[in-house]
Amino acid sequence: MILENYYDIEHNNIRVSRQQASDFAKKVANDFNPLHDTDSKRFCVPGDLLFGLVLNQYGLSQNMRFVFSGMVGDGIELLFPESATETFVISGSNGKEYLRVERSGGNSRDKLLVSRLVEAYVAFSGHAFPYILVPLMEAHDVMINPGRPLIIYENMEIHLDRLDIADPALKLSGTCFNIEGKRGLVQLKFTLHDNDEIIGKGTKNMVLGGLRPFDAARMQTVVDDYLQRQEKFGDT
């Protein structure tokens, strides 16, 4: 994966076009959330791409936490600090904060390691819908609004035992689903592996909006539409 294909940079200011964001979502993350379509009225840059941009700029630290405080829309220029401390913020040229990063421990700027780790993470993350989230919603007898599906990336963190990693991979290790009215708070827990050795762990937290009673037929329609979008893209 060549991350540079998915953004433009000038003086540490980064801009992601609709096409670049959409290409990353579909080609790299296998994520067909309509929010990342070039013609979406609610278009936003994938959180997984922002995660990759931070690692690409500042390297991979043993302990990292990412808190997403806003969705990056079309035409937003992101201001990346020239030198990053243990805690720093990615803001937009509009003065709005979009991402807060906390990090500690050792740090590696090995471009190959960063690329492989980003690829491993987004492969895991992009698989969440429908394969993890739909069974989870069914088990709790709720679902997102089929007419206006809303799944928002809230925060994620990674903790690594070491940074000399040859072949990183992520595996789901547990889930947690808390319901607050029409909002669902989902946590996906995962372990990080290097070949057969567990070398770390992490979590991804999301907010599901517009919850309502689970309707198997309507949910299946949403899933079928999502999978058809994947298939159609693969045929192009």
For the record, the structure tokens of 20 come out as 């670049």
Looking at residue 155, its pLDDT comes to 96
Q: What is the DSSP string of 141-190?
A: TEE--TTS--EEEEEEEEEES-S--SSEEEEEEEEEEEEETTEEEEEEEE
Strands in 197-208's sheet, in edge-to-edge order, are 8-10, 13-15, 77-79, 87-92, 97-108, 60-68, 151-160, 197-208, 183-194, 168-180
Q: Domain-by-domain residue ranges, the chain? A: 3-235
pLDDT digits (tens, 9 = 90+) for 20-37: 999 999 999 988 888 899
Q: Give the Cα separation of 116 and 12 in Å (integer).
A: 23
Asked if 122 and 21 touch (Cβ cutoff 8 Å), the reply is no
pLDDT digit of tens for each residue in the chain (236 aa)? 788 999 998 877 999 999 999 999 999 998 888 889 999 988 999 999 999 999 999 999 999 999 999 899 988 999 999 888 999 999 998 999 999 999 999 999 999 999 999 999 999 998 899 999 999 999 999 999 998 888 888 999 999 999 999 999 999 999 999 999 999 999 999 999 999 899 999 999 999 999 999 999 999 999 999 999 888 887 66
Range 3-235: architecture per CATH: Roll (3.10)
pLDDT digits (tens, 9 = 90+) for 40-69: 988 999 999 999 999 999 999 999 999 999
Asked if 31 and 9 touch (Cβ cutoff 8 Å), the reply is no
Q: Is the pTM of this model over 0.75?
A: yes
